[in-house]
């Protein structure tokens, strides 16, 4: 539950706060909360000052998987945003920074300048009602109109205001077919109209972790800085050793993760019924020498998509730490929430080493184009 505090402000600060609230459209409470969050962020950045190769912001941050990836490549995070309070706790416990809350309440001009925007935005359908109405009235529609009301709009308005050198967006594979392909079309059109050179690919996390996990990655570079001749590909270097599930399993596991007789019987009967109907739905009993299905946020319910066989007893779920490893998090990463929340968080997370590899290619490309960037800045 949110906690309440009472503070005293002198007249000068109060008047300034009222004016800022009016300009940004935020409540006084939100303004004060943002100021406190900013103070935490400033303290963290002070420790890293002067050591970073580039700066980035972390939108729809979750538990910081993208942040870990870009920090591993020498970046400094100057702003983060995540609305889920349990994810905020995990983020704070691992990075010492409290992310801002609702991105829709963030005034884009307040976001620090940065080199790379990073976001794993949720997938939503786009409404054409507003655009149709404007067309019927003979009014022009801009690229912001088509995305208004969606969370992707928040990414667009920040890109439009801050114009970072590059961006990385990540989403589920089905984003490309979502809403009969219309969502993808609008996203590509919006990024194109922002004047970014855009590259996309679907990458599978099993190159780096023992999990089949396909995600779409969207990378963009600012044409106003780098011109129209930017090239980029997702040619990842495959690790020498293929990931194997047995390498991430804990040696001693609490019996609470073993399925009860009731649940195990239910899953078996359900799978039998589905098979009889010609469906492939059912539990996933994995081969320890292989890889798993995709870990999902619903894993906390019954763990059915990834079950570990146990000799002489019912199979078991993965532990939260094993889920963290399955997503490429190191054992130094702190898990400070309940099992239920941890399963949700890791199920929604990115494969950290995969994003680290993509981030490395983005940073290297920016380094390659540094002279073009400097030349254009001098001309400007």
Catalytic residue among 31, 81, 87, 123: 123
The answer to whether 355 touches 66, Cβ cutoff 8 Å, is yes
Sign of the alpha-carbon dihedral angle for 377, 109, 56, 157 = negative
DSSP type of residue 109 = G
Contacts of 250 (CB under 8 A, 6+ apart): 319, 321, 322
Strands (E), the chain: 54-59, 75-80, 116-119, 166-172, 196-204, 214-222, 308-310, 313-316
| CA 338 to the chain's CA centroid | 21
Residue 123 is a catalytic residue: yes
Torsion of CA 101, 107, 112, 115, to 10 degrees: 90
Could you give the dihedral angle defined by the CA atoms of residues 245, 249, 251 and 256, in that order, rounded to the nearest 10 degrees?
-130
Helix (H, G, I), strand (E, B) or coil at 82: coil
CA contacts within 13 A on the Cβ side of 7: 12
153 near 147, Cβ under 8 Å? Answer: yes
Structure tokens at 307: 């079950």
User: 3-state DSSP call for residue 78?
Assistant: strand
Would you name the residues annotated as active-site residues? 123
């Amino acid at each position: 539950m949110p906690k309440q505090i009472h503070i005293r402000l002198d007249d000068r600060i109060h008047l300034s706060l009222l004016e800022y609230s009016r300009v940004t459209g935020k409540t006084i409470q939100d303004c004060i909360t943002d100021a406190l969050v900013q103070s935490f962020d400033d303290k963290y950045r002070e420790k890293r000052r002067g050591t970073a190769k580039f700066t980035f912001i972390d939108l729809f941050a979750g538990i910081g998987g993208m942040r870990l990836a870009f920090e591993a490549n020498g970046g400094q995070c100057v702003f983060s945003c995540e609305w889920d309070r349990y994810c905020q706790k995990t983020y704070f416990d691992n990075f010492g920074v409290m992310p801002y809350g609702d991105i829709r309440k963030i005034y884009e001009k307040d976001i620090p300048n940065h080199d790379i925007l990073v976001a794993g935005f949720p997938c939503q359908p786009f409404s054409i009602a507003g655009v149709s109405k404007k067309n019927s009235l003979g009014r022009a529609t801009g690229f912001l109109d088509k995305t208004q009301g969606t969370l992707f709009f928040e990414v667009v308005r920040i890109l439009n205001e801050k114009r970072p050198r590059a961006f990385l967006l990540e989403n589920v594979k089905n984003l490309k077919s979502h809403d009969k392909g219309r969502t993808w079309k609008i996203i590509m059109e919006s990024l194109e109209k922002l004047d970014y050179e855009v590259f996309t690919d679907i990458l599978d996390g099993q190159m780096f972790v023992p999990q089949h996990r396909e995600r779409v990655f969207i990378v963009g570079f600012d044409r106003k800085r780098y011109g129209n001749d930017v090239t980029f590909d997702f040619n990842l270097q495959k690790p020498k050793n293929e990931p194997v599930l047995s390498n991430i399993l804990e040696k001693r596991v609490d019996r609470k993760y073993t399925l009860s007789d009731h649940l195990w019987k239910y899953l078996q009967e359900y799978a039998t019924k589905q098979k009889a109907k010609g469906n492939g739905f059912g539990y996933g009993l994995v081969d320890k020498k292989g890889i798993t299905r995709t870990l999902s946020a619903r894993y906390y319910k019954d763990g059915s998509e990834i079950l570990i066989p146990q000799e002489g007893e019912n199979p078991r779920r993965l532990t939260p730490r094993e889920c963290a490893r399955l997503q490429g998090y190191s054992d130094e990463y702190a898990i400070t929430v309940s099992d239920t929340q941890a399963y949700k968080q890791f199920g929604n997370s990115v494969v950290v080493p995969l994003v680290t590899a993509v981030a490395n290619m983005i940073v290297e490309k920016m380094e390659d184009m540094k002279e073009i960037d400097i030349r254009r800045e001098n001309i400007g």
